[in-house]
Amino acid sequence: MLARLILMLSALLQTPRSQHGSVTQRVGTTEIAVSYSRPVARGRELFGTLLRWGRMWHPGADSATTISFSKNVTIDGRALAAGSYTLWTIPEQAPKPWTMIFSRGTHAWHTAYPGDSLDALRLTVTPETGAHMETLAYYFPMVDADSAVLRLHWGTTVIPMMIRERR
């Protein structure tokens, strides 16, 4: 009986709580990669209830979402060096913009913000409204010769960020 319980607990500990997702995109000669876990809405009211306004949130589940750039880029016109970062955000109730944070604190669990001393970039982004997305997603709906829009989309909230290759 004890052996069976141990096997069941072991299986639970090895099962991810959320599905893993990833997306990559080449912009000019820059490789961009996003790796994240995908929480599901399941009929819950997301922003303002599950995720409180004005509180730090890592947009994903389980381990913190990571984004990497093979070369220097600008995001919404702000410079960011090549490298790997974790993504964090502070959701705000409309019409306030959200704060997006690119942190050098990689290897973070989703609730353990590494602290502002490791912030590589903070920017404000105005959310948009889109069709309902049941499972959190990152995607590139627009790609050009030297730029792309990366969207974070969950529920009906869309956070767009313009990424440009920096030469």
Determine, yes or no, domain membership for 4. Answer: no
Beta bridge partners of 90: 99
Beta bridge partners of 73: 80, 165
Are 29 and 71 in contact, with CB atoms under 8 Å apart? yes
Domain that holds residue 34: 19-165
The pLDDT mean for the chain works out to 90
79-138 residue pLDDT tens: 999 999 999 999 999 899 999 999 999 876 666 889 999 999 999 999 999 999 999 999
17-54 residue pLDDT tens: 779 999 999 999 999 999 999 999 999 999 989 999 99
Are 7 and 27 in contact, with CB atoms under 8 Å apart? no
Determine, yes or no, domain membership for 3. Answer: no
pTM as predicted = 0.87
Determine, yes or no, domain membership for 117. Answer: yes
For the chain, what is the domain count?
1
Determine, yes or no, domain membership for 44. Answer: yes
130-161 residue pLDDT tens: 999 999 999 999 999 999 999 999 999 999 99
Contacts of 15 (CB under 8 A, 6+ apart): none
